């Protein structure tokens, strides 16, 4: 038994480790749970009682020698690594230029929109992207089997139940949640991703972003809506910008209108961006339908309000004259580097 211990001690003292892998090999062979030392301690159980004390002392001495060797090897490897790191650099090599990230153009536009509306007293609200049928459709005056539901191709998660679950098709669902949890006066905007089952092209995508805003109080009229959108257009696109409201239809507003701005690229003279009309559509708006008010227990005889919605991609394309909607989601570094950190 003493011969075995002497042989193990000699092997420990002569062990060399040049890297971490060899160091791990030493731990496994000698100090690990399945190493030699563990086996020797297990052998102590089989020895006669009068031999255990002497054998235990020798094994403990062997253990101390192994731990000391492990500490020495660890220090040697760490010192070697530090020596390699501290070698002088080749000063003839060219320097590595400092590179900076770029803010995504959609983030530029989003932050600018928030700035403009916050100055007009609007706060920022948020809601889930996975939405139920009540908040996405029914509470916004989309009755079951109503033709207006066909206006939006929906990604359903569960369908055919009492309350279907889907990816939200518009941020108007946040409007319902705010109206349910707060009481007038309310003035808020919500910005986020929306989803529609559409073919992807240069002018359409199944994932895009919207900004939805609404204002509810006593004696809110259509003029308040027009003045709000006019101020936004001037702040976003320039002081010379004009707006045009064309009659339209949305289930959750009455009356409803499409919002156009004068083309600031051609100055209203006509170009390929505005299709030679001098006007570019950026969203929809209208006075909140009384049924939408009632669905959230707000008395439409006491309060009135307006709502509007705009596509952030459309606004961004106009701001930066981007012609392909797919560029926003392709993560092409060459495209993203064209935008700096300013708004």
Q: What confidence tier does 305 reach under pLDDT thresholds 50, 70, 90?
A: very high
d(CA 133, CA 152): 13
169: which 2 tokens? 């098709």
Mean of the pLDDT values across residues 6-27?
Answer: 81
Asked whether 112 and 236 are in contact (CB, 8 A), the reply is yes
- Is pLDDT at 144 greater than 90 in this prediction? no
pTM, two decimal places: 0.67
Confidence at residue 125, expressed as pLDDT on a 0 to 100 scale: 92
For residue 269, the number of C-alpha atoms closer than 13 Å in the C-beta half-sphere is 3
- Is pLDDT at 341 greater than 60 in this prediction? no
d(CA 289, CA 133): 18
Confidence at residue 152, expressed as pLDDT on a 0 to 100 scale: 60
Which ranges constitute the DSSP H helices of the chain?
2-14, 20-26, 36-43, 49-85, 105-119, 133-136, 172-181, 222-237, 290-295, 312-320, 333-336
Question: For residue 13, what are the CA distances in angstroms to 64, 68, 279?
Answer: 12, 10, 87
Confidence at residue 145, expressed as pLDDT on a 0 to 100 scale: 75
The owner of tokens 């989803």 is 195
pLDDT by residue (tens digit) across 160-178? 776 788 899 899 999 999 9
pLDDT by residue (tens digit) across 225-280? 999 999 999 999 888 888 999 999 998 999 999 999 988 777 667 776 677 788 88
Residue with the larger pLDDT of the pair 36 and 207:
207
Q: Which CATH class is domain 105-336?
A: alpha beta
Mean of the pLDDT values across residues 194-218?
Answer: 89
Among candidate residues 293, 220, 213, the one with its CA nearest the CA of residue 259 = 213
Confidence at residue 83, expressed as pLDDT on a 0 to 100 scale: 66
Mean of the pLDDT values across residues 318-326?
Answer: 85
Sign (positive or negative) of CA dihedral 310, 313, 316, 318: negative
Mean of the pLDDT values across residues 284-296?
Answer: 93
Mean of the pLDDT values across residues 181-190?
Answer: 92
Strands 243-250, 253-262: parallel, antiparallel or unpaired by DSSP? Answer: antiparallel
Averaged confidence pLDDT in the chain: 84
- Is pLDDT at 342 greater than 70 in this prediction? no
Question: For residue 53, what are the CA distances in angstroms to 2, 30, 59, 60, 98?
Answer: 13, 21, 10, 11, 67
Residue with the larger pLDDT of the pair 35 and 191:
191
Residue with the larger pLDDT of the pair 290 and 6:
290
Confidence at residue 148, expressed as pLDDT on a 0 to 100 scale: 59
d(CA 214, CA 179): 10
Least confident of 22-26, 187-191, 299-303: 22-26
Strands 123-125, 279-288: parallel, antiparallel or unpaired by DSSP? Answer: unpaired
Among candidate residues 314, 249, 312, 253, the one with its CA nearest the CA of residue 280 = 314
74: which 2 tokens? 């660890």
- Is pLDDT at 210 greater than 70 in this prediction? yes
Strands 279-288, 253-262: parallel, antiparallel or unpaired by DSSP? Answer: antiparallel
Confidence at residue 149, expressed as pLDDT on a 0 to 100 scale: 65
Confidence at residue 230, expressed as pLDDT on a 0 to 100 scale: 94
Q: For the chain, how far is it from start to end, CA to CA, in angstroms? A: 80
Asked whether 87 and 293 are in contact (CB, 8 A), the reply is no
Cβ neighbors of 86 (< 8 A, separation 6 or more) are none
pLDDT by residue (tens digit) across 61-110? 878 888 888 888 888 888 877 766 655 667 788 887 777 777 889 998 99
Q: What confidence tier does 1 reach under pLDDT thresholds 50, 70, 90?
A: low
């Amino acid at each position: 038994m003493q011969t075995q211990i002497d042989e193990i001690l000699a092997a420990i003292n002569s062990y060399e480790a040049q890297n971490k892998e060899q160091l791990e090999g030493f731990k496994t062979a000698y100090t690990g749970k399945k190493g030699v030392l563990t086996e020797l301690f297990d052998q102590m159980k089989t020895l006669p009682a009068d031999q255990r004390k002497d054998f235990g002392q020798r094994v403990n001495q062997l253990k101390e020698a192994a731990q000391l060797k492990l500490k020495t090897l660890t220090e040697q490897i760490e010192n070697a690594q530090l020596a390699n790191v501290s070698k002088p650099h080749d000063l003839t090599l060219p320097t590595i230029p400092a590179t900076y990230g770029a803010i995504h153009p959609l983030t530029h536009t989003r932050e600018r929109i928030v700035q403009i509306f916050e100055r007009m007293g609007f706060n920022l609200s948020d809601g889930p992207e996975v939405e139920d049928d009540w908040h996405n459709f029914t509470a916004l005056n989309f009755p079951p089997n109503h033709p207006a539901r066909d206006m939006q191709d929906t990604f359903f998660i569960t369908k055919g139940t009492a309350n279907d679950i889907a990816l939200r098709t518009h941020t108007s669902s946040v409007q319902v949640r705010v109206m349910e949890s707060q009481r007038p006066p309310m003035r808020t905007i919500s910005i986020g991703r929306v989803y529609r089952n559409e073919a992807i092209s240069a002018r359409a995508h199944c994932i895009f972003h919207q900004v939805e805003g609404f204002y509810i109080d006593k004696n809110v009229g259509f003029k308040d809506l027009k003045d709000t959108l006019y101020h936004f257009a001037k702040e976003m696109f320039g002081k010379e910008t004009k707006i045009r409201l064309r009659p339209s239809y949305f289930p959750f507003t009455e009356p409803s209108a499409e919002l156009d701005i004068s083309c600031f690229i051609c100055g209203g003279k006509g170009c390929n961006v505005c299709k030679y009309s001098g006007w570019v559509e950026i969203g929809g708006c209208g006075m909140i339908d009384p049924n939408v008010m009632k669905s959230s227990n707000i008395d439409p005889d006491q309060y009135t309000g307006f709502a509007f919605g705009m596509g952030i991609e459309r606004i961004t394309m106009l701001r930066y004259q981007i012609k392909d909607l797919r560029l926003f989601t392709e993560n092409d570094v060459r495209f993203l580097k064209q935008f700096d950190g300013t708004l």
